[in-house]
Structure formats: C-alpha cells, structure tokens
Amino acid sequence: MTETRPTPREPDRGEEADGNEDESAAVEGPPEPSAVLGRLPTDAGLRRQLAAAARSRGRSASVAAEIEEVEAELAAIEIEPVDLTAARRRVAETSGEIERLKERVAALRGDARARRAVDAEADEALDDLEAAAAELSAAQTEAIAAEQALERARAEAARNRDERRRRLRLRDRLRNRRRAARRELAEGIYPVFRRALAVVPGGDPDAAGAAPDAYDGDPVAASLAAVRVAALDSAVELRGEAARRVAAADRSARSLLRTSEVRTEGAADGS
C-alpha cells in the first residue's frame, strides 16, 4: 500500500487578509449640484462649486465617456471572499488523522506478527489491521483532496489580490479623471462666473483672475455668483453672512440669484 501524505505549507503573506479590504476607499461620484450649492455658505471649494453650476446647466466634460468606461469596469469587478483558514484547518485535521491511523496500523501489524510468531490465532488481529489500513487509505485520499482544495483557495486568493490591485488602479484613474472634469467644467463656466461677480453683493470681477485657482476675492460672494450662474431646480437656503448680504441688496433674492425659491435660515423667502 502506497502512502501519500500532504505536506503542509506556510501561509503566504497577505493570504489571511483576503476579503477584508477596506471599502472606504471607494470613489464617490460627483454630488448633485443642489447638494453643493443648495445651502450657503458651503464647505465646497470654488472649483467644485463652479463644476456643480456647469453640470446643472447640462454641461459635460470631454473626459465624460472615459469616466463612464472606468465606472463600468469598476462595477464589473466582483471579489468573493476566500476562507483560507478553513482550508488550512481541513489539511491539518486530515494530516493529524493520517498520523493517528498510521500509529494504529503499525500497532496492529506488530500484534499480528507477534501472534503468528507464537502460532496464536491471528485472524481477528488481521481483520483489525485490514480495517485500519482501509481507514488510512481513505484518510490519505481525503488529505489529498484537502490539499488540492487549499491550493485552489490560494489560487483564488491570488486572483483576488490581482483584482484588488486592478480596482485600486481604476479608482486612482477615476479620481484623476473626475478631477480633470471638475477643472474643465469650472474653467469653462468661469467667464460667466466672473460677470456674475459684478452683480452679487461683495463681488469683485477684478479679483477673479483668469481661472478658478487665481480667484482672490470674497468666498461668500463667489458662492452667490456660482448660484446665480447655475440652473438649480430646488430651493437655495441662505444662512449667516450669505443671508445678510442678500437681505441688504436692493433687489429680490430670487432675481439676484436667478433661482425660483430662496430660503433664509430655513424660512421661505418669496420676495
């Protein structure tokens, strides 16, 4: 009888981490324009505000198709968790069972030999030996299957790691393309924004510079101008300094911001 014993292997580094990737690194899509400009003052930077205003007017960036392609690639990646711990445990258990049965077979073989040496009845001992040998053979077969299952799990874990690396590369690419899209949209609407600065309270077109990065004016005025050039389909809520400036203006809030509804500190302003 040929005995085959699987050889336990040390776990590869990173195998235990399979399926435990932090999903917080996922790339969020651009927010709705109203989420950026619907409540002033806003925490969003000027470029993001202007990009939101441009999107509200139906504009899209030249990289929009590429962004959709990368998003589709990301959505198609599916990584199922691989339980390497259970696979290793099964290998260890079958290996331990083989050792136990080997010892039993050796003991029974010795007993049978001893009985034959003294011409004692050995049929029962031989029956026990045959049964133990059959158990050992079955355990060895199971151990081979366990080792093969572990190798398949390791291969799947390796594929998962490759897919994670690809997903990270795609996320980086998506962040870069969305950043480029925001830059393009913000710069495309900037001339209109610069003109709007001449209308809103505290605005100064001379402080606008040639591009969003060059803006050196008042941030509240910039937000009011961004709302004015946007095409929002929901109410704009004004708080703090933004509310005070619009209230002190010599024209209605809706006319100033060119939006259908303006609320001040949560109260609707129908003026």
Q: Does 252 fall in a domain? A: yes
Cis-peptide, bond into residue 33, ω within 30° of zero: no
pLDDT at residue 91, rounded to an integer? 92
Q: Phi and psi of 57, rounded to 5°?
A: -95, 10
pLDDT at residue 19, rounded to an integer? 43
Location of structure tokens 């990301």: 74
Most distant CA pair in the chain, distance: 122
Q: Does 195 fall in a domain? A: yes
For residue 229, give its domain range.
33-61+182-264
Q: How many domains does the chain have?
A: 1
Residues facing residue 263 across a β-bridge:
237, 268
Q: Cα separation of 20 and 13, whole Å?
A: 14
Q: Cα separation of 221 and 42, whole Å?
A: 12
- Residue 157 near residue 84, CB atoms below 8 Å: yes
Q: Does 253 fall in a domain? A: yes
Q: Cα separation of 212 and 40, whole Å?
A: 19
pLDDT at residue 132, rounded to an integer? 83
Q: Does 257 fall in a domain? A: yes
Where do the H-state alpha helices sit in 6-83? 33-37, 46-56, 64-76
> Residue 25 belongs to what H/E stretch?
none
> Residue 40 belongs to what H/E stretch?
strand 39-40
Residues facing residue 268 across a β-bridge:
263
pLDDT at residue 175, rounded to an integer? 95
Q: Does 142 fall in a domain? A: no
Structure tokens at 9: 């292997």
**DSSP character at residue 11:** P
Tell me the whole-structure pTM to 2 decimals. Answer: 0.71
Q: Does 117 fall in a domain? A: no
Intervals of the chain under pLDDT 70? 1-27, 115-122, 125, 266-271
Q: Cα separation of 215 and 26, whole Å?
A: 31
pLDDT at residue 15, rounded to an integer? 44
pLDDT at residue 118, rounded to an integer? 64
Q: What is the DSSP string of 145-180?
A: HHHHHHHHHHHHHHHHHHHHHHHHHHHHHHHHHHHH
How many C-beta neighbours within 10 Å does residue 196 have? 25
Closest CA to 257 of 199, 202, 208, 210: 199
Q: Does 240 fall in a domain? A: yes
Q: Does 271 fall in a domain? A: no
